[in-house]
Structure 1
Amino acid sequence: MRSVYRILIVDDEPFIVNGLADLCQNAEHLGLEVHKAYSSSEALAWLKRAKMDIVLSDIKMPGLNGLALYKEISRQWPRCKVIFLTGYDDFTYVQEAIRLGSVDYVLKAEGNDAVLKAIEKTVELLDREVEEGGLIAKAREHMRRALPFLQQQYVLELMQRTPESISQPELEQRFSELEMKLAADKPCLLLLCRLDTRNREDGPSTQSLMSYAVQNIIGELLSPMTTGLAVEYGRSKMIWVLQYNEHGEVQEEGSRWPEPKQEQEPERVQRFVHGMLEQIQDVCRSLLRVKTSFAIAGEWVGFARLGEKFEGLKRLLDSGLGIGQESLLSETGPRSHSEGTGNFLGRSRVFLKRMELLRGCLDNGDREEFLHLLREVTDASSFPPEISHLLKMEVYYGLVSVLMPSLVDMEALSHAVEGEGNVDYIRLTHLEEHDSWAEASAYFERLAEIIFNRKEQGKQEQQHEVIDKVKRYIEDNLAGDLSLTQIGEAVGHNPSYLSRLYKQVTGEGLSDSINAARLAKAKQLLKETTDKIHVIAAAVGFSSPPYFYRFFKKTTHLTPQEYRELQNL
């Protein structure tokens, strides 16, 4: 469903403006938001106030004529379409207008049907520009260009998650959406690279270019047997996620290795990658004058285990021999899932990353994802026994740091959820206050529910406050401008957002509510007063009595006079 288009009608003759406004409002199939300006200066004020999609204007007006107005429209709202109303003696103006572009014109003598057709044609043009114009096409192109970045971000996300939270169906779906060259169901070999030499005088752009050049060299030299994705992390560091090519395929089209398939086992590719690292260092040193260090995994792992493998390689590259320049380090082989202190550090870093994700869910009000992550990080069945106590302490006090700011804010604002009582901070900040880990986990889940309940309550209170303001404004201004733009300005919210919010909260469109309020007031005035119909029409916001007549009869199946007579029987 497309957005509502705004049309501004400009003429120095009020009866023309009001008549054309009625014409547009009656054309319900166009769904236009209609605004009126009785001079070029008033039109300029509207253009500064709100984005217009269509301007229907007299070409000759006192002061700023239509052509000068068009130039100002083009400057402020380049996509706005202009329709000029002209007389037979305005042909010179028309020629100039057509030369400027994005303009249509209608002869005043042709009447309302011609005006309506011109507006319909312009609405169709606006629709086409969005669909073909390339706004959607451009969005798709931008998405395509962003795919490498999105692929890298997803791999980084996988490295922050626990193995239990990553499912094969999810991997396959996201890999398809992101058009990943890597296969979701194949094992990976992780390779870390660090640029050891950097000129301190080089700016960020130079460093980025150098990193990009190193990526290209690595990708090219490893391409005969691998497909890879490079992801930068930290300063001058990158992760390579590698997979072996099937049947000895190289990435260059049409080229194949003669060896039989069994020679392309992961072990052989792993030896190939390890053997090429020295050459990569030589090429980077000679061509780029950059020294590089590498740490390569000792086993192939699935995407669910990328995080723990990454943490292990980081420790390898950031300590001991890895601190030196041009290091070439390798894990000795498959590593156990229970490695004492090293395993604790790896798990601890993964949990710290999960805490950041939990904070994000809390800030964004994402209850379902928060509880899902909370149950994952508190699942003690995944903790290696020899470090289980350390991990429980890490998780417990990490969760305290996540929840504490929200709990303090709630108490400071006296917004405890009804029936929940005050938070026991002694119990919250001491793991030993709980009889078991299961009890502590359930305690955090209850606290999270309290916080989300309060957030939801606060959101609903604010939403209803906005809706009440809108309803009061409508009741107080039935005779005035009740356009989305005007109401949005009055209550301090974007008109499009306000329209969606009103529909979401009340289940009724804002325009329907306005019409209902106008109809109710009109019925009241018809019943309780002897005011003339045109006076009542003006009192409920209709500048044209015929338009009020049509509106009233369409909604009640009675004319205003017939309704009055029935009420007075």
Structure 2
Amino acid sequence: MKSRYRILIVDDEPFIVNGLAELCLGAEFLELEVYKAYSSSEALGWLKRAKMDIVLSDIKMPGLNGIALQKEISRQWPHCKVIFLTGYDDFSYIQEATRQGSVDYVLKAEGNDAVLSAIEKTVELLDQEIEKDILLAKARDNMRMALPFLQQQYVLELMQKAPGPIRREELEQRFAELEMKLDPGKPCLLLLCRLDGWQRQESPSAQSLMLYAVQNIIGELLGPMTEGMAVEFGRAKMIWILQHKEESEEHPEEVRSPAAERVQRFVHGMLEQIQDVCKTLLKLKTSFAMAGEWVDWERLPDKFEGLKQLLDSGLGIGHESLLTEAGERNRPDRIGNLLGRSRSHVKRMELLRGCLDNGDREEFMQLFHEVTDPSSFPPEVEYLLKMEVYYGLVSVMMPSLVDMEALCRNVEGEGAVDYITLTHLEEHDSWTEAAEYFERLADIIFNRKEQGKQDQQHEVIAKVQRYIEDHLSGDLSLTQIGEAVGHNPSYLSRLYKQVTGEGLSESINAARLAKAKQLLKETTDKIHVIAAAVGFSSPPYFYRFFKKTTHLTPQEYRELHNM
């Protein structure tokens, strides 16, 4: 399995850090995303901002040494591997590092080849661990241990509960009855997962297997820091209720952060790896919406409704979304329950609602035609079933109408929707006319959703491009850009490629090259000054980059254009 990993290089000697960064960037076969830190405190800052897969660190540094740094790494990112750079006189440190679980160490005197070999071995180990610990076969073996039906029903009841206090005693009693492992007295972090590109033609057993496989992957990767339970809801979606594990030992105050904040950062950082593993092992794309705060059990229903809207709107209707709640969201009032008591009817309407929320036009229309087919209504109950289907469709469409006033005007052609016509079956001359009305409405909703998603995507891309232009001399790592525009770095990279057809790193290099050419033609600045101005801390690396791209050295380019 080939993955893209992040490596953080840590040393108090800048020339060592820059040289190793250049070495890693030049090893394109490793596909590394490289970050640099010139002190342990700066390294801790990066660990709080982004998930790191490999840390290449000097073992002796002022302040927090490599061993203490390694302990903090294991607390923040348990899957991260550490490679230490050591001298011949560091044998006692090496022994302690080995006891602490360091993956490898390299003597500084061994040179670059040894460093690259250690990194390559570490990449292979990361791949092997994922393949060893998370196999589809494991999902089959663990199906019998899936959450009982009563657990799922109870959690869904909690999620749909009206606002108001929940008695602690009631929670404790029900948790004990249902053998739920979560603590009713601890706050929770809510996470919604959606399986993208779900195929209706797959058998129920295959669907169940894939759901359990994804559930197992999430549980395995989030397990080092969280206790959690998963509940299926809607169409190919899961609710994850997470709680942080208790601290097992004391840690130095200078490296300790609140447990809840650290666990929340860990969960957010692991989501992109969960997506990669699901896509690689299961050939399945997934999307996530994560709460931005820990909440008590009585606030879970409101948090659940907000995350559903986040996942089902805007950027969330694409594939492989990775979204985090940014704050309170305005939501339309709840529409009354217009569905009948028939379980099959409710299920079909939920499927339609899921397709509409997820932007799945083709599947929606196929199911819509099945639901509205007049030949499926037995004559003796034809009118009752038509009423049930009609008002079920009203409940499916109404939330979109509430949020999309412009769409409402397009549907009717003259201002606002005539809600009398919309909500009364008898206003239509025939069942065929009523079905065609809803089909037109659905078609416009899908068009508006797709246009809204494209508008948001292009707005994000424009922000990225402006940030790159304004910060060519600064930090243009994926993590920094993601923080600047408010999106997960991995998801942002995929979105940028999808919308522009060009990788984000290629765009950054193109912008740096264009600016470098401009400065070479229009100024007399020295080459090393221009290199720094376009974001290259190493002039030799800038020289090689420029020569490889233009087939000219920077000086040759300047002389050619100043003749």
**Into which bin does the TM-score normalised by the smaller protein fall?**
0.5 to 0.7
Query: What secondary structure, in the 3-state scheme, does the structure 2 residue paired with 1:72 have?
Result: helix
Call closer, same or farther: CA 1:22–1:461 in 2, change over 3 Å.
same
Structure 2 CA distance, aligned partners of 1:418 and 1:465? 27
Structure 2 CA distance, aligned partners of 1:452 and 1:39? 51
% identical equivalent positions:
79
Structure 2 CA distance, aligned partners of 1:554 and 1:359? 53
Query: What secondary structure, in the 3-state scheme, does the structure 2 residue paired with 1:368 have?
Result: helix
Call closer, same or farther: CA 1:43–1:49 in 2, change over 3 Å.
same
> In structure 1, which of residues 139, 142, 145 is the aligned counterpart of residue 139 of structure 2?
142
Call closer, same or farther: CA 1:8–1:148 in 2, change over 3 Å.
closer
1:55: Cα distance to partner? 0.9
Matches within 5 A, 1:153-552: 173-175=203-205, 348-411=342-405, 422=415, 423-552=417-546
Structure 2 CA distance, aligned partners of 1:452 and 1:150? 35
1:3: Cα distance to partner? 3.7
Residues 481-539 of structure 1: per-residue CA shift (max 9 Å, x gap): 11111111111111111111111111111111111111111111111111111111111
Unaligned runs of 5+ in 2: 154-198, 211-338
Corresponding position of 2:115: 115
Corresponding position of 2:68: 68
1:95: Cα distance to partner? 2.1
Unaligned runs of 5+ in 1: 157-168, 181-344
Question: Is the CA contact 1:417–1:454 (under 8 Å) kept in the aligned structure 2?
Answer: no
The residue identity in structure 2 corresponding to 1:145 is N
Call closer, same or farther: CA 1:171–1:553 in 2, change over 3 Å.
closer
Call closer, same or farther: CA 1:149–1:42 in 2, change over 3 Å.
closer
Question: Is the CA contact 2:401–2:408 (under 8 Å) kept in the aligned structure 1?
Answer: no
Question: Is the CA contact 1:348–1:394 (under 8 Å) kept in the aligned structure 2?
Answer: no
The residue identity in structure 1 corresponding to 2:130 is V
User: Bigger CA drift: 171-180 or 117-126?
Assistant: 171-180
Call closer, same or farther: CA 1:525–1:446 in 2, change over 3 Å.
same
1:371: Cα distance to partner? 1.5
Question: Is the CA contact 2:139–2:209 (under 8 Å) kept in the aligned structure 1?
Answer: no
The residue identity in structure 2 corresponding to 1:124 is E
Residues 170-228 of structure 1: per-residue CA shift (max 9 Å, x gap): 87854467689xxxxxxxxxxxxxxxxxxxxxxxxxxxxxxxxxxxxxxxxxxxxxxxx
Call closer, same or farther: CA 1:179–1:63 in 2, change over 3 Å.
closer
1:81: Cα distance to partner? 1.2
Structure 2 CA distance, aligned partners of 1:150 and 1:483? 41
Query: What secondary structure, in the 3-state scheme, does the structure 2 residue paired with 1:361 have?
Result: helix
Structure 1 CA distance, aligned partners of 2:90 and 2:404? 67
Question: Is the CA contact 2:25–2:32 (under 8 Å) kept in the aligned structure 1?
Answer: yes
RMSD (Å), alpha carbons = 2.9
Query: What secondary structure, in the 3-state scheme, does the structure 2 residue paired with 1:88 have?
Result: coil
Query: What secondary structure, in the 3-state scheme, does the structure 2 residue paired with 1:89 have?
Result: coil
Structure 1 CA distance, aligned partners of 2:460 and 2:548? 30
Corresponding position of 1:26: 26
Structure 1 CA distance, aligned partners of 2:436 and 2:39? 67
Question: Is the CA contact 2:482–2:489 (under 8 Å) kept in the aligned structure 1?
Answer: yes
Question: Is the CA contact 2:428–2:434 (under 8 Å) kept in the aligned structure 1?
Answer: yes
TM (normalized to structure 2)?
0.64
Question: Is the CA contact 1:415–1:454 (under 8 Å) kept in the aligned structure 2?
Answer: no
Question: Is the CA contact 1:7–1:52 (under 8 Å) kept in the aligned structure 2?
Answer: yes
The residue identity in structure 2 corresponding to 1:99 is R
Corresponding position of 1:85: 85
Call closer, same or farther: CA 1:449–1:40 in 2, change over 3 Å.
same
Call closer, same or farther: CA 1:174–1:350 in 2, change over 3 Å.
closer
1:418: Cα distance to partner? 9.8
Structure 1 CA distance, aligned partners of 2:201 and 2:54? 46
Call closer, same or farther: CA 1:73–1:152 in 2, change over 3 Å.
closer
Return the index of the structure with the highest Cα Rg. 1
Structure 2 CA distance, aligned partners of 1:369 and 1:351? 17
1:441: Cα distance to partner? 0.8
Structure 2 CA distance, aligned partners of 1:419 and 1:389? 26
Corresponding position of 1:129: 129
Question: Is the CA contact 2:411–2:441 (under 8 Å) kept in the aligned structure 1?
Answer: no
1:45: Cα distance to partner? 1.5
1:394: Cα distance to partner? 2.0
Call closer, same or farther: CA 1:20–1:416 in 2, change over 3 Å.
farther
Corresponding position of 1:563: 557
Call closer, same or farther: CA 1:346–1:355 in 2, change over 3 Å.
closer
Corresponding position of 1:240: none
2:94 counterpart of 1:100? no
Structure 2 CA distance, aligned partners of 1:559 and 1:368? 54
Structure 1 CA distance, aligned partners of 2:209 and 2:70? 45
1:364: Cα distance to partner? 2.3
Structure 2 CA distance, aligned partners of 1:29 and 1:550? 18
Structure 1 CA distance, aligned partners of 2:473 and 2:209? 56
Call closer, same or farther: CA 1:33–1:149 in 2, change over 3 Å.
same
Call closer, same or farther: CA 1:463–1:355 in 2, change over 3 Å.
same
Query: What secondary structure, in the 3-state scheme, does the structure 2 residue paired with 1:501 have?
Result: helix
Structure 2 CA distance, aligned partners of 1:464 and 1:415? 25
Residues 340-387 of structure 1: per-residue CA shift (max 9 Å, x gap): xxxxx9995532332222222222222222222211111001111122
Question: Is the CA contact 1:84–1:104 (under 8 Å) kept in the aligned structure 2?
Answer: yes
Structure 1 CA distance, aligned partners of 2:420 and 2:36? 64
Question: Is the CA contact 1:420–1:450 (under 8 Å) kept in the aligned structure 2?
Answer: no
1:140: Cα distance to partner? 3.9
Corresponding position of 2:315: none
Corresponding position of 1:41: 41
Structure 2 CA distance, aligned partners of 1:56 and 1:179? 39
